[in-house]
Amino acid sequence: MDYKLYETLNRLPGLFAIAATMFFGIIIIVIFIVRIFQFPHLRQKYWQHDNTQSIPTRILKTIIFLLLAAGLIGVISYNVYKMKNDPPKFLVTVERSKEPPSILICQSDDITFNTVRYYNSFNSFVNYPKQNFDLSGDFKLFQRESDGNCTFFNSTMTMDNPGGFYLLGFSKVLLELFNGMSGSASIISIYIGDTNNEMNWNLPMPQGNKFSDVGFLLASSSGIFQYTETWHKALNGINYRGFQITSIGNFLFDLVSVDDNPMQSSTWIGLIAPTNVIAQVENPSLTLADLLSNVGGYLSIWAIFGFLFGVKKANPFGFVSDFIFINQDKVKLRKELDKMKNDRSSKLSNLEKGEEDNTIETNSLSNQSTELRNLLAKYYVDMDFYEHAVKTPDV
């Protein structure tokens, strides 16, 4: 799956919600279709309406409904368009740096690259210069079109601690005199860049994509430099790294001994690595949760439809009673009706023992009860399940 789509759909929770909704919706649709073809009274309920509103009211109701439905389609279409085409939103965070960069080192012919030492921090280098990690074996010879005297470090390791201090050692080489000159000054070029495959290190100035800036320093003598790192976390799941290098100044490297070897480098380049990096994180302009929230906000406007034209009759039983547990709910309803019938018979029996006026009053109450029931069935309560349960002994 495309990682951008994965982020837009709110990752695993969003995918789970979509799958659960589709599963539940398919089950409801299948049950509805099967029951509609199985029971004629359900077809009559959904395709035959006893409309109690006048023609002008029904026409206006249809117009308002179509306008609201068109608005709903417009809201969904607009939000889907934003999800697909809008540029991502950015969130800036500060994170710990634990991955070393790729480093390309090139030098002039009168100088050689000797060693690379790594320290947990610059303070560790100053206080304990011999307690270091020798990374010289991780730097490999690298042949470029413009310069063949290069060494490349493309580490995929993860440091236990963020930041650190890299110490690069170089030594002078005695060259023969050409044309009475001793040669040009020694030049050291160092490039720091991303570790991904989009980097092109063969160019005179190595280059990555638009998010992967390459840090560059040019030195002819010892010094300490510091590089900063920025991340760009794209929606496709790739983390692009950019670097910038600044000069700190000189340092008395003459007093430094990184090991017990008496032959020490004559030129040292120190690189202070950042402890933290600034990460620019891409986020979808609109996610599935935002879409549902916007649609839900629009649906609240539909309350005006009920205000103008009233609401449907209340259904005290619902979909489960009508389509799924039909027999079970019919049995329960009949038990309740029998209980109410017995209570009513008991009251009528007590009234019959009284005077003749009570009998007339009883008949009057019975007639009023019938009228009230018809009124409720006409305008307020959906009596379909009740009628079906009373009139049909079996489903």
Segment 48-61, tens digit of pLDDT: 666 667 788 888 88
Whether 109 maps to a domain, the answer reads: yes
Quote the pLDDT of residue 395: 47
Percentage of the chain lying above the pLDDT 70 cut:
76
In a domain, 292, yes or no: no
Whether residues 228 and 122 fall in one domain: yes
Q: How far is CA 122 from CA 126, 139, 161, 252, in A?
A: 6, 21, 13, 14
Q: Does residue 340 fall inside a structural domain?
A: yes
Question: Looking at the structure, do residues 108 and 224 belong to the same domain, yes or no?
Answer: yes
| Max Cα–Cα distance, the chain, nearest Å | 145
CA 106 to CA 112: how far, in whole Å? 9
In a shared domain, residues 162 and 204: yes
**Least confident segment among 108-112, 253-257, 311-315, 354-358:** 354-358
**pLDDT at residue 190 greater than cutoff 90:** yes
Tell me: pLDDT of 276 over 50. yes
Identify whether residues 246 and 318 lie together within a single domain: no
State the average pLDDT over residues 23-31.
90
Higher pLDDT, 290 or 326: 290
- For residue 207, the 8-state DSSP code is B
Question: Is 317:336 a contact under the CB 8 Å cutoff?
Answer: no
Q: Given 242, 266, 283, which residue is the final one in a domain?
A: 283
> Mind listing the pLDDT tens digit for each residue in 342-377?
766 666 565 555 554 555 555 555 555 666 566 566
Co-location of 133 and 242 in the same domain:
yes
Question: Among positive and negative, which fits the CA dihedral 77, 79, 82, 83?
Answer: negative
The pLDDT value given to residue 179: 45
Other beta carbons within 10 angstroms of residue 350's beta carbon come to 10
Same domain, 198 and 113: yes
Cβ atoms of 182 and 119 within 8 Å: the answer is no
Q: Give yes or no: residues 233 and 105 share one domain.
A: yes
| Whole-number pLDDT of residue 243 | 93
**Are 171 and 276 members of one domain?**
yes
CA distance 147 to 298: 64
Q: Which residues are CB-contacts of 249 (< 8 A; sequence separation ≥ 6)?
A: 223, 224
More confident residue, 184 or 62: 62
Identify the domain containing residue 348 by its residue range. Answer: 314-395
Please tell me whether residues 251 and 190 are part of one structural domain. yes
CATH assignment at residue 236: 2.60.470
Q: How far apart are CA 194 and CA 99, in angstroms?
A: 10
Q: Report yes or no on 300 lying in a domain.
A: no
Structure tokens at 330: 């019919």
Q: What is the mean pLDDT of residues 242-254?
A: 87
Distance CA 282, CA 173 (A): 49
d(Cα 271, Cα 165) in Å, to the nearest integer?
6
Q: Are residues 200 and 328 in the same domain?
A: no
Does the residue 323 lie in any domain? yes
**pTM of the shown model:** 0.65
The verdict on residue 380 lying in a domain is yes
Q: Do 121 and 200 reside in the same domain of the chain? A: yes
Q: Do 218 and 335 fall into the same domain?
A: no
Q: For the chain, what's the residue count?
A: 395
The total number of structural domains that make up the chain:
2
Question: Residue 166: pLDDT band by 50, 70, 90 thresholds?
Answer: very high
Q: Give domain status of residue 354, yes or no.
A: yes
DSSP SS3 for 3: helix
Which helix (H) or strand (E) segment holds residue 269: the answer is: strand 267-273
Question: Does residue 177 carry a pLDDT above 50?
Answer: no
Least confident of 150-159, 185-194, 362-371, 379-388: 362-371
- Has residue 26 been placed in a domain? no
Contact 259, 133 (CB under 8 A): no
Bridge partners for 216 per DSSP: 191
Sign of the CA dihedral with 289 first, then 292, 295, and 300 last: negative
Q: Distance of CA 136 to CAs 131, 220, 345, Å?
A: 15, 21, 102
Q: Which residue has the higher pLDDT, 30 or 3?
A: 30
Q: Pick the residue with more confidence: 259 or 291?
A: 291
The pLDDT mean for the chain works out to 79
Q: What does the pLDDT read at residue 196?
A: 75
Domain boundary (283, 303, 323) is at 283
Mean of pLDDT values over 290-317: 80
Phi, psi of 276 (to 5 degrees): -120, 155
